[in-house]
A and B are shown apart, each in its own frame.
Chain A
Amino acid sequence: MNAIEVRGVRKTYPRYSRRRQFATLKSALLSGRVLHDLRPEETFDALKGVSFDVAAGKTFGIIGRNGSGKSTMLKLIAGIGRPSEGAVAVKGRVSALIELGAGFHPEISGRENVYINGMMLGLTKREIGARFDEIVSFAELQEFIDAPVKTYSSGMYMRLGFAVAIHVDPDVLLVDEVLAVGDEAFTHKCLDKFSEFRRRGRTVLLVTHSLDLVTRFCDEALWLDAGLAKMQGDPKRVVDAYLMSVAGAENLALEADAQASASSTFPDAPADMTRAIEGRWGSREVEIDAVEFVGSGGEAAHVFTSGTPIEIRLRVRARRPVSDLVFGVGIFNADGVCCYGTNTDIEGATSGAMSGEGQVSFIIDRLDLVEGSYMVDVAAHRKDGAPYDYHRLLHTLRVVSPLKETGIFRPPHRWAFSANIRITGLER
């Protein structure tokens, strides 16, 4: 049995032009277009025909980038607004945690607000009375419940809103990114409450950016992308596919960045090299025309998984033959800390010369860095340091890691334990 059925749902929002925004009753009447103006021509589709089912008793996650239509979908399921096309059917009482405490009135006490909020969510006065103590103790507001809500901190406000909404005891609970309402302890309490819901066979629909939550809690996940259902199924698979796509998009963005910065030129070297910000300088007798990061697949990329190989590939061109040449590479983290720097001179090269065009590859067998963004310096210069072409912090790459270790360097390692210690489930 399905608790939620969504069939071919399209939601069209008007996108008012400047003219419409300043249109008034007068202008509408004068031009005789009252009804016409109520039907704006410019529209955009937040949802473009989405269908899915949520089986009763399942916890269902919806993920997707900002603006993909997640929240719109949730509102339509909650019954706030109606789909422009298609149909939404929900079985049983629905409670939506969209904005907590949306109906609270600041001037009156928490107690009165609990009653009014509860009634708005569809409870009767008696039902609220029966659950009142539970609500208050869940929100941890026993001492403050008779104070006006305007004296509450934002955390208290949210907790009370959450407590009321969750005690409506709905058959279908809709949650929109509200778990960040309190401290750790309260978040755990909320998660416990969700688990309790699941045990009692209630349906939970979760819209969130917290992918971790989806893989841990959901039985099924839906990935919405630009108003379309991109993928539905096992949460781990959906989340992985989503992450791949995000990494791909990041690649594209960094690519565009790289192209923009490579074309910019900064003719003069800053006086103090250690404080140098990003830029490019040098005599250009040897020029670095292009910098690519190449992964194990042999394709240029900007996002790499920690521990995989990377090749920093430079396309270089000598405007005239040179006989004093050193190539250098440096990797900096987002804080500007140099993670590693080297050049051919440091590594013992006794001479360097080139003419015409060529390619230089700096190959790292294992990119053992922790997750984060890194900037790369590449340079061609004389032995005494005088630059031909110096790219300072111009090239960005991103390292992702399935583990969330801290630090900079991720040495290849393993754990070993004596026989009386049992630690299981370590990755690799």
Chain B
Amino acid sequence: MIRRPAGLRLLAHLQQLFRYRALIHSLVARELKARYRGSVLGLFWSFVNPLLLLLVYSFVFTVVLPAAHPPDLQPFALFMFCGILPWTWFSSSLLEASNVLIAGGNLIRKVLFPAEVLPLVTVFAGLVHFCLGLPILAAFLIYYRVPLVAADLAWFPVIVLIQLLLTAGLALLVSALTVHFRDVRDLLSNVLTLWFFATPIIYALSQVPGPIRRFLNLNPFTHLAVAYQEVLFRGGPFVEWPRLLAVGAGSLAVFAFGYFVFDRLRDTFAEEV
């Protein structure tokens, strides 16, 4: 085996990964099938889960805490849903990715294939769940007659793509680090809880006092959540796009970094898992 410079090796591995796209595709399909095998509702759960989540939040914020949100964001539950749906994708992908190399230890030790397939499969499986939640969201948007602007909706795939990059980069990083430090799993679940509340999902960014808002602006997911809310929930032109693109550039950097770390630790997986 010839040693190549790290950068070239990385590119070669990315290229190889592309050749394994059919495997990723099949593994995502397997993931979805296996998850619901044996349950009565089957894949229907992907619709029901976000719906039930929406009901819970509606109950809390319209019945228990009716005064906690600004009056101009109606219906508030739908506003939250615009943020919760992508957040669920993000957090569940990372949580699963943190465990995926250890759970797949048998594969890593016994079969030669690019290990990055495994964390990426969790991210793509999350994406499928996210997409299955979209019809629910669309149905409610139409039901409440939320005005949708076609020019804004064009941004939607861009936002999804940027979130995909960010999630994939972090998933690679987290999965590789967990192999060496099992604590990452426990740490991560707490970090994600904090992260959730530090993101304007169950409140609007406009509600936040100035100094704290500056802090929230450092959070990349703030801009993703705001972008989803702007594009889907609020009518009017989407003006936050420069920030979104900045987050996009950052996400690309995160992905490159995550992949770099993963690649550096790759050879140690077979011995550590």
Contacts and interface: CB of A to CB of B under 8 A. Distances in A.
B22 A88 contact: no
Given A80-B109, A102-B111, A89 B22 contact: no
Which of A79, A94, A102 has the most chain B CB within a 10 Å cutoff?
Answer: A102
A24 B181 CA distance: 6
Contacts of A25: 181, 183-184, 187
A254 interface: no
Which of B34, B111, B182 has the most chain A CB within a 10 Å cutoff?
Answer: B111
A9 to B, nearest CB: 11
Given A24-B183, A26-B183, A88-B1, A96 B112 contact: yes
Interface string A117-150: 0011110110000000000000000000000100
A3 to B, nearest CB: 15
A96 B107 CA distance: 12
Contacts of B187: 25
Contacts of A408: none
A120 B113 contact: yes
Contacts of B181: 24-25, 28
Given A38-B180, A94-B112, A105 B23 contact: no
B271 A148 contact: no
A107 interface: yes
A79 B106 CA distance: 15
A87 B184 CA distance: 34
A346 interface: no
A20 to B, nearest CB: 11
Contacts of A119: 20, 22-23, 26
Contact of B267 (A81, A121, A122): A81
Contacts of B112: 78-80, 94, 96
A116 interface: yes
Contacts of B243: none
A81 B30 CA distance: 27
Contact of A105 (B22, B34, B111): B34
B110 interface: yes
Range, interface on chain B: 20 to 34
Contacts of A233: none
Contact of B23 (A102, A108, A116): A116
Nearest to A107: B34
A196 interface: no
A329 to B, nearest CB: 53
B34 A82 contact: no
Interface in A44-82: 75, 78-82
Contacts of B33: 107-108, 112
Contact of A82 (B1, B22, B109): B1
Interface residues of A, number: 35
Contacts, number: 80
A108 B38 CA distance: 11
Nearest to B109: A80
A85 to B, nearest CB: 12
B273 to A, nearest CB: 12
A421 B270 CA distance: 59
Which of A28, A75, A80, A82 has the most chain B CB within a 10 Å cutoff?
Answer: A80
A99 B106 contact: yes
A13 interface: yes
Nearest to B114: A120
Given A25-B187, A81-B270, A108-B37, A116 B111 contact: no
A182 to B, nearest CB: 19
Contacts of B1: 79, 82, 87-89
A293 interface: no
Contact of B30 (A78, A94, A116): A116
Nearest to A100: B110
Contacts of A96: 110-112
A181 interface: no
Contacts of A24: 181-183
A115 B30 CA distance: 11
Interface in A97-111: 98-99, 102-103, 105, 107-108
Given A80-B110, A89-B1, A108 B183 contact: no
By Cβ-Cβ distance, the 7 closest A-B pairs, closest first, are A25-B181, A102-B110, A107-B34, A119-B23, A99-B110, A25-B183, A81-B270
Interface of A: 13-14, 24-26, 28, 38, 75, 78-82, 87-89, 94, 96, 98-99, 102-103, 105, 107-108, 112, 115-116, 119-122, 124-125, 148
Given A102-B107, A103-B111, A121-B111, 17 more contacts: A25-B187, A38-B180, A79-B1, A79-B112, A80-B110, A80-B270, A81-B267, A82-B1, A82-B267, A89-B1, A98-B110, A107-B37, A108-B34, A116-B23, A116-B27, A120-B107, A148-B37
